[in-house]
Amino acid sequence: MFLVASNREILKGILTGNDRQEVTVDGDRTVGGRDHQPPVTTTAAATTKMAIPRLSLLPNNEHNSDNYEDLELEFSSSVLRSLERYLPPEILTANREEKAKFMSDILHKYISREECAKAIRFKNYREWIMSNYQPRFRELYKLDPESLLLPCFRKAVRENTEESFRRIMFEPFPGVYVFKMFQPDFFQKLLVEVENMRKWLHEAKLMIRKPNNKSKYGVVLDDFGMDIMLKPLVEDFIFPICKVFFPQVCGTMFDTQHGFVIENCEDRDAELGFHVENSDITLNVCLSKQSEGGEILFTGTRCNKHLKAGPKPEEIFEYCHEPGQAILHLGCHSHGAKAAITSCSRANMILWCINSLFREMQTYDNEFRDWCGQCAREKKEKKSQSLASKRKEMIRIIE
């Protein structure tokens, strides 16, 4: 659940249209008014009205937000810290508990209590695992570039130019970039670590959180504390590449990453099939592969409006993913396995990179997105129709 990833959407809703509202404080101290709940009938004595102080439209960037990690709250500390900078002065100077209560009352109008409860269960699940699980290879849980990443990859990122990146990668198809980034022993260590995670969860009689709806054997690396390694990996090494090749998507920085390992073979998970992913940029690293088959077939980029639009011949591209290789592509680039080969097994580390600002801006870009193949075709067709209409009009005038 990406509760933190929606910070911008939450703030946007709070800061537009709600600064003049009135709320009803009922006798049970719950907040009514502009929400999705039916009104509660109370007596006049039990109900009072008060105006919520107006939130600032611009953040107070000089203010250092409090840390709420040690408080038992329904919302994550990062969400509250983001919202705190928008609080009015009379609330901003209050103590932590009062500010947390004030912000929580506001947030409950945008996030249901069911979602909050789910987030709390997920937080407790992760904290219990991280407090009790003993890693097999602790060096995987902290990013040490020299021990985990190839020298040529580190050099390319350090130079941070399109020329330096193209020296270590190739682009077999527009928008699909292939390169090597990890040291050879990283793959074997990660596979052993993942198997150790799975075995430990089984012995502890805990259910494995699935990376997706169809994965039974996949493991979410973030649940075991590997996000401590993955976050700087994204920020310091993946983001610079994306800023060069996917500038329209990555913006100033990714604010959420989601890392997991999946295994596809006859006695484990079947292939997921053709799909787009809940990411803006996807890094797919092949950890191992046995036998032939199971090539990745890309079938075009699609925005939400055109998810059901079938691929055109020029959008179809087949690629054989080899161990040690990383593929970087848009999350909306539809792809899947070419065929279900029972003799083929493979393991992949998937890293989803998410930019909530880009997702918010999509609401203002209703058509003809440059990165969507179907939008590009519609834009071209509309332009051709406009030119044809003008040509006919000119011919009519001349005649």
Tens digit of each residue's pLDDT (9 = 90 or more) over 123-132: 888 889 999 9
- For helices 7-15 and 96-107, give the axis angle rounded to 10 degrees: 80
In terms of domains, do 122 and 204 share one? no
Model pLDDT, residue 157: 97
Task: Tell whether 31 is covered by a domain.
Answer: no
Task: Tell whether 221 is covered by a domain.
Answer: yes
In terms of domains, do 121 and 152 share one? no
Question: For the chain, how many helices (H) and strands (E)?
Answer: 14, 12
Tokens of 57: 């439209």
In terms of domains, do 125 and 176 share one? no
In terms of domains, do 350 and 212 share one? yes
**30: pLDDT confidence band, cut at 50, 70 and 90?**
very low
Task: Tell whether 379 is covered by a domain.
Answer: no
Task: Tell whether 338 is covered by a domain.
Answer: yes
In terms of domains, do 116 and 224 share one? no
Output phi, psi for 146, to 5 deg. Answer: -70, -35
pTM, to two decimals: 0.69
In terms of domains, do 123 and 239 share one? no
In terms of domains, do 120 and 202 share one? no
In terms of domains, do 164 and 87 share one? no
In terms of domains, do 180 and 205 share one? yes
Task: Tell whether 297 is covered by a domain.
Answer: yes
Does the structure show a pLDDT above 90 at 319? no
- Report the C-alpha gap between 196 and 287 in whole angstroms: 16
- Total domain count, the chain: 2
DSSP secondary structure string for all residues of 60-118: -TT--PPP-TTS--SS-HHHHHHHHTTS-HHHHTS-HHHHHHHHHHHHTTTS-HHHHHH
Q: Which of 106, 132, 158 is the last residue of a domain?
A: 132
Tens digit of each residue's pLDDT (9 = 90 or more) over 104-125: 888 887 777 788 788 778 888 8
In terms of domains, do 229 and 318 share one? yes
Q: Domain limits at 249?
A: 136-368
DSSP secondary structure string for all residues of 342-386: TT-EEEEEEEEEE-HHHHHHGGG--S--TT-HHHHHHHHHHHHHH
Task: Tell whether 34 is covered by a domain.
Answer: no
CATH of the domain at 248: 2.60.120.620
Task: Tell whether 32 is covered by a domain.
Answer: no
Q: For the chain, how big is the Rg over CA atoms in Å?
A: 25
Model pLDDT, residue 399: 65
In terms of domains, do 265 and 353 share one? yes
In terms of domains, do 140 and 267 share one? yes
